[in-house]
Each structure stands twice: as structure tokens, then as C-alpha cells.
Amino acid sequence: MAELQRQAGKLLIERKDVIVQAPTGSGKTLAYLLPVVTILHATREDWRLNEIGSLIVVPNRELAIQVSGVCRRIAEPVHLNVATIIGGKNVEEQVKKLKNN
């Protein structure tokens, strides 16, 4: 685990706000996804059916695809669903995707 992930992860698990600026490949994506998945998994008994546990917003389509791929890989083993919603796509299909996840 990268130092960035350790430092940010500790604060995020405590549900504190964190701002990180670091170069590509430094582990930023996992720095926030691991705590989010950990919190959602630990509190899964508290969630209602079809409730959204987290919303992650990124600035472009490529990053959305990358982040959702990483999130799926770490969320699948703990049985959490991930839906990727991208601007410019069919709104009805994306709403349906949200409802089904």
C-alpha cells in the first residue's frame, strides 16, 4: 500500500474530507475507493434495498471508466454493486441501470 493510500485512507475511514494532488500512478484511485468500499461493506446492514451508498464524480468519460473498473474489482468480493453513469449517454438507460444496481 502506498503512503498516499495509508494517509488518506486513515482520514477517509474516519469520514473526514481529504484533498489529494499527486502524479499519475501514485495510487489516488485506491486511496479513496478502498475506504469507501470498506465503509459500505461494514455498514451494509444499515442500507435499504436500492439505496445509493456512495456517489463518485470524475471530470471525464475515460476516468469514469477507469475508476468504475477499479471499483468493480474491489467491490465484487464483498458483494457491492457498481453502476457507471456517463454524461452524453441515453438518460433512460442510465436511470434503469441505477435502479437495477
pLDDT digits (tens, 9 = 90+) for 72-89: 999 999 999 999 988 877
Write down the pTM of the prediction: 0.78
Stretches where the chain sits below pLDDT 50 are none
Residue labelled with grid coordinates 499519475: 24
Contact 17, 41 (CB under 8 A): no
pLDDT in the model for residue 1: 76
Q: What is d(CA 5, CA 84) in angstroms, rounded to the nearest whole number?
A: 23
Does CATH place domain 3-100 in 3.40.50.300?
A: yes
Q: Give the residue extent of every domain in the chain.
A: 3-100
DSSP assignment of 23-60: -TTSSHHHHHHHHHHHHHHHTGGGPPTT--------SS
pLDDT in the model for residue 97: 77
Picking from 41, 36, 75, the residue whose alpha carbon sits closest to that of residue 57 is: 36
pLDDT in the model for residue 4: 86
